[in-house]
Structure 1
Amino acid sequence: FVIMDECYDRYVYPGVEYATMPHFDPEARRPFFIAGSFSKTFSMTGYRIGYAIGPAEGIAAAGKIQSHSMNGPTTFAQFGALEALRREEELFAPVLQQFTRRRQAICDGLAQIPGLPFCQPQGAFYVFPDARELMGRMGIERTDVLASALLRKAGVMVIPGSALGQEGFVRISFAVDEGKIRQAVERIRKAAGA
């Protein structure tokens, strides 16, 4: 079976078509499980509201495990999730517009830093630039060392790619306001000597 974490499924930017694995192979012989969350789309972090879609026997087994690992979500969180589903388009459209602007701000800023190429994100709120050339210029060999250096020199936190299975890259979140994004990118640029 394949488990797909779809907690960022609504964070898909204009002009990008989103599809999950079952869309590509609807006749697949292996079962798919889709796990979703209200924490990202509706800013309900910590409320433990989510869902799973999959074969009935798999969902029943997951329910048994879940019932022994945590209590059910609070009543107010359940009602909040229900209202969020009822008003999903109305509530999320402004959020996506805001994140589209944030994505543009970080991409514009990173484009000004030589040796830090990246692909414009098509979804979620992270950019994953290739930091190998930048690290070479700074005399740094590993992304965990780069992350520490950027925190120390620039006051900017990035996640080393080594923690995510991709040494040589760093993950930068743009889940903050545009002013902070511009400030952080400028600090990275200065710390990198660009």
Structure 2
Amino acid sequence: MYKRSEQTREALVSAAAELIATGRFADAGLVNICRVAGVSRGALYHHFTSIAELVAEVYAQARERATVLVEDSFAGSAADAPARFSVALGAAMAKDQLICAGMGLGADGTDSAPRLRDEVLGMVRDRIVEDARGGAAPDALADLAVVVTAGLESLGYTDSGWWDPRQTERLWGVLRPLFAEAHEVGATADQ
């Protein structure tokens, strides 16, 4: 019984994410969510007290996945971390409707600011500044990485080709030397 209940809950989260990711926030209404999930209204209200609570769960699960993307991207070389994150985010946006939907949501289950997108880009910016301590212009580099990543993320909603890892890698091919140089200067200054 518990397994079926958990499956129903996940079907509702998945349906809400699908509707938000492939349409508009307003498309994620009661009737549409229940139809896509293949459940009754009663089942929805058994698991969530409101649509906002359900959408807040989409946000929460997307936040967990996005945080893993940030952590994984910054686990290796600091100079290459922003590029790894941009590539990983684009790939996730193209393949994972939960992340795609969640990036436009706020923790309160609405599409009002602050959104997950703002939070994730803030995490990335903070990590770049932290990793570039002692390097050249860490704030400017962090801002550049955020602008590039935010631009790719935004452009991908109208043309998913912007989320293609090859496109992201091509752009970061131009930017990587700036980040590598800043980290070399920082490493030399630390010695």
* Bigger RCO of structures 1 and 2 (CA < 8 A, at least 6 apart): 2
Query: TM > 0.5 between the two?
Result: no
Question: When you count helix as a share of all residues, which structure comes out higher?
Answer: 2
Name the TM-score, length of structure 1 as normaliser. 0.23
